[in-house]
Chain A
């Protein structure tokens, strides 16, 4: 494995890095500058509300995954376990708690400020609730706002559900945010941000769509997790995010027009051999090694469900400047982890067909119930409906003890060889027909 410092980066990645660096500097100076800090989660996040009130968001699960990538999570998790957290608790939670116990130093080496508000708008993950209960104990007296997002049990978002959520926003969430921020919500500013959000969302969808091209100019999973960053976190609704996605789209369109394969940390892939749809989050502690197994075998992820945890924009949803609270409510309820299992299977089937995938692979995460529950069922269903080879591997988000390189490589190699054989047979069958 080459040194992570040697990673080859596209221009858009450099832009994003700067955006993040500025955010963390701003966060480290938040208290000095009198800025209020809101801790909140990625799926169903209300970033525009936070930014419209001049507050700064912190996303604990992003910190956890960053700690995983920086090889710090193992130590943090052990510290949380010393405090009494069980081996089976979500490793994002333990990593986050461990990081706080160790001085709350963020990914850039700067200290993260303590929260002034815990804003919980959880979608499909009940652990979020427990996570913030624990944070409340670590930061006694911190203000808490909770937005209950109904699960899409019947596969539809009803008007009643929207009313229920808007009411919570109006009567509880926004007043609490106003109290912490010390000012009233500026709805004009919010509308402007939602307009920017929709622009960035349009661009993001166009980026994702380029993967339909053969060869795909992007890897929708391994690179996708970087691409989705600004839209899923602190930049949605900003001009910066719009510019970032303009640059990204320009880059990937150029690559597509030249029939180039995705850029990997070791340079451009030479050949696209397999097109895959992947379900489940990636492993962060061995992210580069994990990715390398794929690009070394010429496997490109053309669509993934994980890049939809922050919103299913590709299925038509947009933030709406004219209906701010209603569209935020729809947004929360429409995130991938808030879909029921039949909806998830339909979505995967749609991706496999639309993106002409050769295979479907699940990376099942030991400590993530909201993703892992029902995955085997989904796999069987997808296999039956689409008739393509399915694969199943297991790892974890940020606990390095659960990433077994030899086992995963062994399974993936077998899977790719299996896809290779299938291609040969299909070609032979086609030739005969």
Chain B
């Protein structure tokens, strides 16, 4: 039987889970927002990683078919997205119940009835909307969290009502979301996947004919794969049925696991399965880029500059102390201040023509400075350019404290997804430590801590570290 290893990185903002096989290859990833109840966050991330792992095993098993027939690939990616919706559906229903319950607890008489009417309208609207986005707009691939998706939809609906409803409906939301989010729902993969397949069947049966659709849509929007699949749907789904059932019934054996990250001490793991995230991030980054000697990790509230040796083991590290300005939460706060989403920050900053100087010592002050600069007529893009540069300036000082940058340099953590941060990092690293420094950034950068954890779990942590002989031969 195949053996799998789990790493969970409970960060201040997001909780990540990674499952690896015996070759240290990532086969499952799960991510969710960290919440007050750490154990729920860890469970959700873990469940997601296990589902994701089943899908990757399925894709590996079907590698040949996928390669030769694009409709197989399309079917599987659609299925994964719809599968996510099936889980969401249960939570949306749970949230609906919670909203009504809160309404009963906080309001009575006429007011209560009025609120219930409004809540019913919201419920009726948001569920089909989300369903539509999952089935037709590929929401599943965007990696968004339940809380973010439903709150966006809820807000949209609330804003349609009379302004007097805003306050009470938001109060109801605030008091309901946590309960809905924190309930652990046990799903059965096999039945969930059957439901997902049925929903997919419904989608493809109801798809308008190619000719009809092409007249409406422009040529560039035309989804060739989708129509290829439509034409072949019955055949594809029937031939995949057995292979899917096989993976759904697969006995998934997690041999060992490691917990890391800020909340690690509170994870329901035995003491020997808890590791420092500094070691895990370094180990993960080194596994992906084996020549790594310096790692910079920018997460939600920590910036870590880590030096590693040829084995991927930490030789020294520095972390921000006393203040988390310049980390992921700093960007989140700035995004809120500008009323834009976190994902829009980087692209907007990339449009900067110059970088306005902004202080990065305090998040709250930076917010005030941003308003001031906007009033003085500075362009948003230029201010954001300055803010992103400020983050890297701060990180550079931490890197200097840890001993500097040694080739190769690997950048990890959630903030490594931000293109503007990457731009300034490359500029400053090369300017300070030489143009020949190789900078590594992986698409899985946010999962490096969990990956390192899973790798420690596979090595059973202490007993079987990578042997000096093996690592020496690699180096």
A and B: interacting chains: yes
Query: Contact residues of A with B, CB < 8 Å?
Result: 376, 380, 383, 389-394, 402, 404, 407, 410-411, 413-414, 417-418, 420-422, 424-425, 428-429, 431-432
Asked whether any CB of chain A lies closer than 8 Å to the CB of B315, the reply is yes
Q: CB distance B316 to A428 under 8 Å?
A: no
Closest residue on chain B to residue A395 by CB atoms? B321
Asked whether any CB of chain A lies closer than 8 Å to the CB of B467, the reply is yes
Q: CB distance B313 to A429 under 8 Å?
A: no
A-contacting residues, B305-326, CB 8 Å: 311, 313-319, 321-322
Q: CB distance A391 to B278 under 8 Å?
A: no
Contacts of B401 in A (CB 8 A): 376, 392
Minimum Cβ distance to chain A for residue B459 (Å)? 10
Q: CB distance B468 to A432 under 8 Å?
A: yes
Contact among B315, B317, B472 with A414 in the assembled complex (CB-CB below 8 Å): B317
Asked whether any CB of chain A lies closer than 8 Å to the CB of B133, the reply is no
Q: CB distance A411 to B313 under 8 Å?
A: no
Q: CB distance B316 to A390 under 8 Å?
A: yes
Asked whether any CB of chain A lies closer than 8 Å to the CB of B142, the reply is no
Q: CB distance A428 to B467 under 8 Å?
A: yes
Contact among A389, A404, A420, A431 with B315 in the assembled complex (CB-CB below 8 Å): A389
Contact among A390, A394, A429 with B322 in the assembled complex (CB-CB below 8 Å): A394
Q: CB distance B276 to A413 under 8 Å?
A: yes
Contact among A392, A402, A407, A418 with B279 in the assembled complex (CB-CB below 8 Å): A418
Q: CB distance A425 to B278 under 8 Å?
A: no
Asked whether any CB of chain A lies closer than 8 Å to the CB of B462, the reply is yes
A-contacting residues, B262-277, CB 8 Å: 262, 275-277
- Given A414-B279, A428-B469, 15 other A-B contacts at CB below 8 A? A383-B315, A390-B316, A394-B322, A404-B321, A418-B276, A418-B278, A418-B279, A420-B462, A421-B465, A422-B313, A425-B465, A425-B468, A428-B468, A432-B469, A432-B472
Contacts of A424 in B (CB 8 A): 462, 465
Q: CB distance B313 to A421 under 8 Å?
A: yes
Number of A-B contacts defined by CB within 8 Å? 64
Contacts of A411 in B (CB 8 A): 319
Contact among A393, A402, A407, A414 with B314 in the assembled complex (CB-CB below 8 Å): A414
Q: Can you give 25 contacting A-B residue pairs, CB < 8 Å?
A: A383-B316, A389-B316, A390-B316, A392-B401, A394-B322, A404-B321, A404-B322, A407-B319, A410-B262, A414-B276, A414-B277, A417-B279, A418-B276, A418-B279, A418-B313, A418-B317, A421-B279, A422-B315, A424-B462, A425-B465, A428-B465, A428-B468, A428-B469, A429-B468, A432-B469
- Give A107 to B277 CA distance when docked, in angstroms: 41
Number of B interface residues at 8 Å Cβ cutoff, please give it. 24
Minimum Cβ distance to chain B for residue A72 (Å)? 23
Contact among A380, A394, A413, A421 with B321 in the assembled complex (CB-CB below 8 Å): A394
Closest residue on chain B to residue A407 by CB atoms? B321
* Nearest 4 interchain pairs by C-beta: A414-B276, A428-B468, A414-B278, A418-B314
Asked whether any CB of chain A lies closer than 8 Å to the CB of B347, the reply is no
Minimum Cβ distance to chain B for residue A60 (Å)? 27
Contact among A376, A383, A425 with B313 in the assembled complex (CB-CB below 8 Å): A425
Asked whether any CB of chain A lies closer than 8 Å to the CB of B128, the reply is no
- Give A383 to B309 CA distance when docked, in angstroms: 14
Minimum Cβ distance to chain A for residue B273 (Å)? 13
Query: Contact residues of B with A, CB < 8 Å?
Result: 262, 275-279, 311, 313-319, 321-322, 401, 403, 462, 465, 467-469, 472
- Give A356 to B276 CA distance when docked, in angstroms: 25
- Give A420 to B461 CA distance when docked, in angstroms: 11
Closest residue on chain B to residue A416 by CB atoms? B276
- Give A410 to B263 CA distance when docked, in angstroms: 10
- Give A389 to B313 CA distance when docked, in angstroms: 11
| Residue with the greatest number of chain B CB neighbours at <10 A, chosen from A404, A422, A424 | A424
Q: CB distance A383 to B276 under 8 Å?
A: no
Minimum Cβ distance to chain A for residue B112 (Å)? 43
- Give A132 to B277 CA distance when docked, in angstroms: 46
Closest residue on chain B to residue A402 by CB atoms? B322
Contacts of A392 in B (CB 8 A): 318, 401
Minimum Cβ distance to chain A for residue B308 (Å)? 10
Closest residue on chain B to residue A418 by CB atoms? B314
- Tell me whether A425 and B314 are in contact in the complex, defined as CB-CB below 8 angstroms, given that A414-B278, A417-B279 are known contacts: no
- Give A414 to B297 CA distance when docked, in angstroms: 15
- Give A372 to B462 CA distance when docked, in angstroms: 35
- Give A296 to B278 CA distance when docked, in angstroms: 20
- Give A428 to B462 CA distance when docked, in angstroms: 12
Minimum Cβ distance to chain B for residue A385 (Å)? 14
Contacts of A432 in B (CB 8 A): 468-469, 472
- Give A418 to B278 CA distance when docked, in angstroms: 9
Contacts of B276 in A (CB 8 A): 410, 413-414, 417-418
Minimum Cβ distance to chain A for residue B23 (Å)? 22
- Give A391 to B316 CA distance when docked, in angstroms: 7
Contacts of B468 in A (CB 8 A): 425, 428-429, 431-432
Contacts of B465 in A (CB 8 A): 421, 424-425, 428
Contacts of A431 in B (CB 8 A): 468
- Give A389 to B314 CA distance when docked, in angstroms: 8
Minimum Cβ distance to chain A for residue B294 (Å)? 14
Contacts of A410 in B (CB 8 A): 262, 276, 319
Contacts of B311 in A (CB 8 A): 425
Minimum Cβ distance to chain A for residue B200 (Å)? 45
- Give A428 to B467 CA distance when docked, in angstroms: 7
- Tell me whether A380 and B322 are in contact in the complex, defined as CB-CB below 8 angstroms, given that A418-B278, A418-B313, A421-B314 are known contacts: no
Contacts of B315 in A (CB 8 A): 383, 389, 418, 422
- Give A10 to B462 CA distance when docked, in angstroms: 35
- Give A383 to B402 CA distance when docked, in angstroms: 11
- Give A85 to B469 CA distance when docked, in angstroms: 59
- Give A431 to B467 CA distance when docked, in angstroms: 11
- Give A373 to B317 CA distance when docked, in angstroms: 19
Minimum Cβ distance to chain A for residue B297 (Å)? 12
Closest residue on chain B to residue A428 by CB atoms? B468
- Tell me whether A417 and B275 are in contact in the complex, defined as CB-CB below 8 angstroms, given that A394-B321, A432-B468 are known contacts: yes
Contacts of A404 in B (CB 8 A): 321-322
Contacts of B462 in A (CB 8 A): 420, 424
- Give A383 to B403 CA distance when docked, in angstroms: 10
Contacts of A394 in B (CB 8 A): 321-322
- Give A81 to B313 CA distance when docked, in angstroms: 45
Contacts of B469 in A (CB 8 A): 428, 432
- Give A269 to B276 CA distance when docked, in angstroms: 23
Contacts of A420 in B (CB 8 A): 462
Minimum Cβ distance to chain A for residue B284 (Å)? 14
Closest residue on chain A to residue B467 by CB atoms? A428
- Give A393 to B322 CA distance when docked, in angstroms: 11
Contacts of B275 in A (CB 8 A): 417
Minimum Cβ distance to chain B for residue A214 (Å)? 21
- Give A422 to B472 CA distance when docked, in angstroms: 15
Minimum Cβ distance to chain B for residue A418 (Å)? 5
